Each structure stands twice: as structure tokens, then as C-alpha cells.
């Protein structure tokens, strides 16, 4: 088995990939209009699991159950498992729902639900977030199964949810209720971008997201701007100043209590030398934006961000000569485990009062996804990084958490598993906007990485069972950049 075993699995996966197997698979998944942000597509959420994923998994020997979401009105949750008995038990995760298609905004005649290859890119809604990512991992699994003669050498459980783009409604309740059935030694999953398209990346957690509205509501209706303008409060102006009190003109956060006390020397060391590039033309990295003195990598992986998602006063589509009655901004904080989200709203209230904005209401929506982080020194993290480096023949960049969210906290809280997150996309992929795409080269490399990971899980040398219990701290992390 050893001779060519792992290399054979990797070669088999890459041969499938190069023969167009992955493209074909991804095209069929993208064609299912499984957006969770439009109630008109509720049937597609079920079709994705039942029509596309279930038969694929059953062919690989999984038993598959599709559960209704414990939170009514949200998409179903697939739970599959393939138990051999011997070896470690791995949990993997993905989501088959997408954001809206936004078809009218795609350029170049592209259609969100028709996968199209252009040069080194595959365009399609869900290509990067998250269909392409879990499809890579499952195709790599198929290759390992074939190479090992229908055996994996470990146990694999899969949770695939269909409401991630609405904040993973019901997932926490589902995982809590199926705690025993989902028990595992480690969670290995893929979502989000690599630190750079060309750099294999392993993340051990996620940033959290906290949402709130700022509301200035001063009168029941608009009043004539000629007769009232200049002597009655304009809520849009008050709101603009309130936002300016939260972050300065260069995006530096001004609210005491929102920021980490410091970036730990270990995190700083892990991110040292990581020179983020703006890839894909999606946006620029503006050196003067955000917290002064931090590198771009530190801003995204080790600090708090404040983002105004949308703001509104009056009717932009039909302005009238009136002083508006109200103004609203929907805002978001992205944060790491180094800060406590329960303090965000009280700290903001105190700050706005101190800055002279008692009339600005903070409507705390609260945490949408909690921050998570596994100690990068955890044996499973180290094992996975070493496996990847050996499969790919080059180093892996370890980061303490990814910039975006993924409901890693749910699995940490209820299952106590360490997180090994291996993203296959890049930050120019335009996920959530028009022209979402996946890059071919990182995906091909991800296919090799996962064929190697799945293979190595069936070999000796995996961390002992007890390693799972020792995990997961919100603090005390000591990230290392592997140079294997
Ligand atoms: Zn998403």
C-alpha cells in the first residue's frame, strides 16, 4: 500500500481534475439555484441536498439523512456519515446555499447559475462560496477511496447546511441536538480565501461578526425643506456625525473597548512577513486605512473592523424636498477572540453619549457568528499542516483565524473539536457580489492537498484520540508559521 499510495491518490485526484471531472461537477452544483436569501428558492435548497449531494455521498458509502431546520423557515441540514470503525473520526462541514444571484449585475454576459470557464477562472454563484470548496474535498475523497480499494481507514461525518448565508439559522440547535452523532476528533473543512491565491493556507478559526443598526428617528414624517430646513434636525447629518465618532476619516476605530488590548507576540510572529496583495481587481488595499501601524494581515486576521453595510435617509430613488424623518445605518463589527462581543453595544452607547449623540439609538442585533480559534499548537493543526506541506512540497501559511466567518464556534462549543480550515478561494473571488468566481490553480492544488489529507488520515501517525479533548481555547494561542 505504501508504494505510491499517497502519491497515487493525489495523482488520481489530479487526473480527475484535469479530465474535467471537477468542472463538470461544479457546473451541475452551480446550476441549482440554491440561494437562501430568496424564499422563492426554498425548493432548490432541498434539491441541492437531495438531488445532487445525497446520491454522490451514497455512492461513496455514506448513510445520508436530510433533517428539517430546527429553526422553521430555514433550509434543511444534511448529516451523512461513513463509519469504518478503525481510525480517527473526522467531521467536515460545508454549505450549499448561496447569496442571491444578482443576475442583472453580472458582466460580460455571464449568468450566475451557469458555470463558465474564462482563462484561469470559473464564474458562477457559489463557485467559491461554498459549492466549489466542498466539492473539491469530496472529489479528493473519491480518489482516496478508489486508491485504497473502497476503504478510507478512518471515519467521516459531514454536515452540509443550507442557511449559512442567513447566519446559519438552526445550525447551533442542530449540532447541540446531535452532539453524540457528530462527535469527532477534528473538524476539517474549507471555506473562504487563502491569504494569497498562490499560498496554501491553514486557518484555525474565524473572525466573528456582530451586527447593529444606528437609528436616528426624530419625527413622524418628512417636513418641507424650505419651510423647515435649517431649524429642524436633519437625521442624516446627525447619523453621519455619529458614524464619524465611531471611526475616523481613515477608518480607525474610536470606540474604547472594541479593540484587542494588543496583538500577542505569537500572532504577530505568525503573520510576520505575510504581505497581502489585492488580487483579482476586487478592491485595493489602502495602506492608510484602518488602525495605524498594523500590517494589512494584522488588520484582517488580528484586529477589529467596523463596516457600514448600508445607510439610508429619505428615498434615494425618488428624492423630495423634505427634511427626512429618520436615518438608519446597518453596521457590522468583525472581531477576533481577543475581544468580548458582549461589551460592544454598551461600549458604543457610552461612547455616543460621551460624544454628544444621545438621540442616536443602537439597536443591538448581536452576534451573528461568534469568533473562534484553535490553538495552532494543537496536534491536529500541526498534523494537518505537515500533511499538506508534504503533499504540496511547499510550506503552508498558518493563520490564527480567517478574516471572514464560518460557524466554527458552533462546533467548538458543542463538540469540542479543533478546527482545521483549508480555504480554496482567494480574496478577489467576489463572493457575495456579481461575477463570483473560483481560480483554477488554487483549486487544483487544494485537490492535491485534500487527497493527501484524506489519505494520511488512514495511515498511522494521526494524533491520538485524546488530542481532541485538549483543544480549543479562545486565548493563549501560540501560532507558528510552519516551514516544513
Ligand atoms: Zn458567503
228-274 pLDDT per residue, tens: 999 999 999 999 999 999 999 999 999 999 999 999 888 898 899 99
Ligand 1 is a single-atom ion; what residues have CB below 5 A from it?
A: 129
Between the CA of 324 and the centroid of ligand 1 the distance, in Å, is 34
Between the CA of 93 and the centroid of ligand 1 the distance, in Å, is 14
Task: Tell me what pLDDT residue 212 has.
Answer: 96
Task: Tell me what pLDDT residue 441 has.
Answer: 97
Between the CA of 409 and the centroid of ligand 1 the distance, in Å, is 16
Burial of 138 (0-12, 13-18, 19+ CB in 10 A): buried
**pLDDT 10s digits, 64-77:** 999 999 999 999 99
Cα-Cα end-to-end distance for the chain? 25
Task: Tell me what pLDDT residue 410 has.
Answer: 87
Between the CA of 95 and the centroid of ligand 1 the distance, in Å, is 9
Between the CA of 189 and the centroid of ligand 1 the distance, in Å, is 14
Between the CA of 165 and the centroid of ligand 1 the distance, in Å, is 5
Between the CA of 98 and the centroid of ligand 1 the distance, in Å, is 7
Separation CA 456–CA 186 (nearest Å): 14
**pLDDT 10s digits, 271-291:** 999 999 888 777 899 999 999
Between the CA of 404 and the centroid of ligand 1 the distance, in Å, is 9
Q: Helix, strand, or coil here: 292?
A: coil
Between the CA of 191 and the centroid of ligand 1 the distance, in Å, is 9
Rounded (5°) CA angle 292-296-298: 80
Q: Which three cell numbers stand for residue 476?
A: 493563549
Q: Percentage of residues in the chain with pLDDT exceeding 90?
A: 82
How many residues in the chain?
A: 484
Between the CA of 8 and the centroid of ligand 1 the distance, in Å, is 34
pLDDT score of 472 more than 60: no
Task: Tell me what pLDDT residue 1 has.
Answer: 42
pLDDT score of 390 more than 50: yes
Order of all β-strands in the sheet with 326-335: 305-313, 326-335, 208-217, 361-369
Between the CA of 331 and the centroid of ligand 1 the distance, in Å, is 17
Between the CA of 231 and the centroid of ligand 1 the distance, in Å, is 45
Query: Percent helix, strand and coil across the chain, each rounded to 5?
Result: 35, 20, 45
Task: Tell me what pLDDT residue 475 has.
Answer: 29
Residue with cell 477576533: 336
Between the CA of 167 and the centroid of ligand 1 the distance, in Å, is 9
How sure is the predictor about 4, in pLDDT bands with cuts at 50, 70 and 90?
Answer: low
**pLDDT 10s digits, 116-170:** 999 999 999 999 999 999 999 999 999 999 999 999 999 999 999 999 998 888 9
Between the CA of 475 and the centroid of ligand 1 the distance, in Å, is 27
Residue 225 gets which letter from DSSP? H
Task: Tell me what pLDDT residue 367 has.
Answer: 87
Separation CA 248–CA 320 (nearest Å): 30
Between the CA of 426 and the centroid of ligand 1 the distance, in Å, is 13
Q: Which residues contact 183 (CB under 8 A, 6 or more apart)?
A: 89, 415
Section 106-122 average pLDDT: 97
How sure is the predictor about 101, in pLDDT bands with cuts at 50, 70 and 90?
Answer: very high
Between the CA of 449 and the centroid of ligand 1 the distance, in Å, is 23
**pLDDT 10s digits, 310-351:** 999 999 999 999 999 999 999 999 999 999 999 999 999 999
Between the CA of 433 and the centroid of ligand 1 the distance, in Å, is 10
pLDDT score of 3 more than 60: no
Between the CA of 371 and the centroid of ligand 1 the distance, in Å, is 16
**pLDDT 10s digits, 11-51:** 999 999 999 999 999 999 999 999 999 999 999 999 999 99
- Give Cα separations from 6 to 82, 177, 420, 454 (angstroms): 20, 37, 20, 9
Between the CA of 133 and the centroid of ligand 1 the distance, in Å, is 12
Of 200, 157, 375, 196, whose CA–CA distance to 278 is shortest?
A: 196
Q: Where are the beta strands (DSSP E) in 288-394?
A: 305-313, 322-323, 326-335, 361-369, 372-373
What predicted TM-score, i.e. pTM, was given to this entire model?
A: 0.85
**pLDDT 10s digits, 401-456:** 888 767 778 888 889 899 999 999 998 899 999 999 999 999 999 999 999 999 99
Between the CA of 135 and the centroid of ligand 1 the distance, in Å, is 16
Of 359, 412, 416, 385, whose CA–CA distance to 479 is shortest?
A: 385
Amino acid at each position: 500500500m505504501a508504494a505510491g499510495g499517497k502519491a497515487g491518490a493525489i495523482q488520481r485526484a489530479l487526473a480527475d481534475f484535469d479530465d474535467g471531472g471537477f468542472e463538470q461537477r461544479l457546473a451541475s452544483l452551480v446550476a441549482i439555484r440554491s440561494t437562501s436569501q430568496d424564499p422563492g428558492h426554498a425548493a432548490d435548497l432541498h434539491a441541492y441536498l437531495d438531488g445532487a449531494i445525497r446520491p454522490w455521498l451514497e455512492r461513496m458509502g455514506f448513510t445520508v439523512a436530510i433533517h428539517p431546520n430546527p429553526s422553521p423557515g430555514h433550509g434543511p441540514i444534511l448529516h451523512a456519515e461513513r463509519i469504518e470503525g478503525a481510525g480517527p473520526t473526522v467531521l467536515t462541514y460545508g454549505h450549499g446555499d448561496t447569496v442571491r444571484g444578482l443576475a442583472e449585475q453580472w458582466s460580460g454576459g455571464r449568468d450566475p447559475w451557469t458555470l463558465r470557464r474564462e482563462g484561469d477562472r470559473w464564474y458562477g454563484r457559489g463557485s467559491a462560496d461554498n459549492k466549489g470548496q466542498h466539492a473539491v474535498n469530496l472529489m479528493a475523497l473519491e480518489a482516496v477511496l478508489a486508491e485504497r480499494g473502497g476503504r478510507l481507514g478512518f471515519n467521516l461525518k459531514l454536515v452540509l447546511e443550507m442557511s449559512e448565508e442567513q447566519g446559519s439559522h438552526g445550525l447551533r440547535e442542530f449540532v447541540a441536538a446531535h452532539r453524540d452523532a457528530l462527535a469527532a476528533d477534528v473538524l476539517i473543512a474549507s471555506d473562504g480565501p487563502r491569504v494569497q491565491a498562490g499560498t496554501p493556507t491553514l486557518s484555525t478559526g474565524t473572525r466573528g461578526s456582530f451586527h447593529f443598526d444606528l437609528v436616528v428617528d426624530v419625527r413622524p414624517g418628512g417636513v418641507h425643506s424650505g419651510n423647515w430646513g435649517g431649524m429642524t434636525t436633519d437625521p442624516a447629518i446627525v447619523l453621519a456625525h455619529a458614524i464619524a465618532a465611531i471611526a475616523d476619516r481613515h477608518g480607525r476605530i474610536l470606540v474604547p473597548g472594541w479593540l484587542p488590548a494588543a496583538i500577542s507576540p505569537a500572532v504577530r510572529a505568525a503573520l510576520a512577513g505575510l504581505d497581502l496583495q489585492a488580487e483579482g481587481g476586487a478592491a485595493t488595499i489602502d495602506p492608510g486605512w484602518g488602525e495605524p501601524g498594523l500590517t494589512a494581515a494584522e488588520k484582517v486576521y488580528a484586529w477589529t473592523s467596523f463596516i457600514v453595510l448600508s445607510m439610508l435617509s429619505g428615498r434615494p430613488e425618488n428624492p423630495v424636498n423634505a427634511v427626512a424623518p429618520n436615518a438608519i445605518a446597518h453596521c457590522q463589527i468583525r472581531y477576533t477572540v481577543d475581544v468580548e462581543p458582549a461589551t460592544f453595544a454598551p461600549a458604543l452607547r457610552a461612547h455616543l453619549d460621551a460624544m454628544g449623540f444621545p438621540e442616536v439609538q443602537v439597536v443591538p442585533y448581536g452576534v451573528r457568528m461568534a469568533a473562534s480559534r484553535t490553538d495552532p499548537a494543537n496536534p491536529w493543526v500541526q498534523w494537518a499542516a505537515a500533511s499538506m506541506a508534504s503533499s504540496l512540497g511547499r510550506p503552508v501559511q498558518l493563520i490564527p483565524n480567517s478574516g471572514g466567518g464560518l460557524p466554527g464556534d458552533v462546533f467548538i462549543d458543542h463538540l469540542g473539536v479543533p478546527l482545521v480550515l483549508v480555504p480554496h478561494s482567494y480574496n478577489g473571488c467576489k463572493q457575495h457580489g456579481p461575477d463570483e468566481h473560483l481560480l483554477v490553480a488554487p483549486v487544483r492544488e487544494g485537490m492535491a492537498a485534500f487527497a493527501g489529507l484524506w489519505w494520511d488520515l488512514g495511515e498511522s501517525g494521526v494524533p491520538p484520540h485524546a488530542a481532541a479533548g485538549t483543544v480549543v481555547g479562545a486565548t493563549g494561542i501560540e501560532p507558528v508559521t510552519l516551514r516544513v
